[in-house]
Chain A
Amino acid sequence: MLIEVWSDVVCPWCYIGKRRLEKALAEFPHAADVEVVWRSFQLDPSYAKGQVTPVYEYLANKFGGSPRQAKGMTEQVTAGAAGEGLAFGFGRAHVVNTYDAHRVTHLAKAHGLGPEAHERFLHAHFAEGATLNDPDTLARLAVEVGVPEAEVRRVLASDEYSGDVDADIRDARTLGASGVPFFVLDRAFGISGAQPVETFLTALQRAYDHAAASPAR
């Protein structure tokens, strides 16, 4: 079974949803038959590529109010993350354009390290305050999961993997994703949002039964 997940590395509910899917897979008896592929999505593709804005300042600018009020907006998300064992530190997180992070993730995917890179970038953004548009930061994180540094530098100095990122984003629209995370099971079933573990488990079983009942492809 193939599970494709459209996700952005600065999307808090994507990280929370990722944990919930992982918990469901840990309980799913056929998890060994499941492959999870992370696909690119950008929450704000129009965000200027070189810009770096602290999250509270970004929220205050976007929605009005003070950075203190913006902090209040993040509390529900922070609590949801804590419930999944994730320690979000929005106080030192920065909003950036994530296009290059996605290109590097596709490079990692070419090395069979896509899931590792996605997890590393999520953790770096939400727990370490890393700026995910900084070439040195992206190179350091990618190297940590096993991607050769020279290749990361080469990709960042070019437009390599742009086509893959764009194709992922196009696919999300074609499949009807109205937000992320967006989970697609065997291109037959869709699940939107950071659903409870039980919902993922039910979906996994339904997709598995569907595949078992379908003629071999």
Chain B
Amino acid sequence: MSVTAPPAKVDPPVEIEQPAPATAPAGLIVLDTEDAPACADGNCW
């Protein structure tokens, strides 16, 4: 009598969602990840 082992249960691969790189309106890939000091709307302080 042969015994066939049930197929091993294989979990489906988990898809890890990669965050899309931040892009500016013109399609630039924004490289900096942290806020750096800058002057915006006439305010530098």
By a beta-carbon cutoff of 8 Å, the part of chain A in contact with chain B is: 8, 11-14, 16-17, 43-44, 59, 62-63, 73-74, 76-77, 80, 174-182, 184-185, 187-196, 199, 202-203, 206
Given contacts A76-B45, A179-B41, 14 further A-B contacts (CB under 8 A): A8-B39, A13-B44, A14-B39, A176-B25, A179-B39, A179-B40, A181-B38, A190-B30, A192-B32, A193-B35, A193-B36, A195-B34, A199-B31, A199-B36
Q: Kindly state the separation between the CA atoms of A76 and B25 in the bound complex, as whole angstroms.
A: 31
Query: Which residue of chain B has its CB nearest to the CB of A20?
Result: B36
Q: Kindly state the separation between the CA atoms of A13 and B26 in the bound complex, as whole angstroms.
A: 24
User: Are the C-beta atoms of B44 and A11 separated by less than 8 Å?
Assistant: yes
User: Are the C-beta atoms of B25 and A180 separated by less than 8 Å?
Assistant: no
21 contacts between A and B (CB under 8 A): A13-B39, A17-B38, A44-B42, A74-B45, A76-B45, A176-B24, A176-B25, A176-B26, A180-B38, A187-B28, A189-B30, A190-B31, A191-B30, A191-B31, A192-B38, A194-B38, A195-B32, A199-B31, A203-B31, A203-B32, A206-B31
Q: Is the interface of B mostly helix, strand, loop or mixed?
A: loop
User: Are the C-beta atoms of A189 and B31 separated by less than 8 Å?
Assistant: yes
Q: Kindly state the separation between the CA atoms of A174 and B28 in the bound complex, as whole angstroms.
A: 10
Which residues of the partner chain A approach B41 to less than 8 Å between Cβ atoms?
179
Interface residues of B in 1-45 (CB under 8 A from A): 24-26, 28-32, 34-42, 44-45
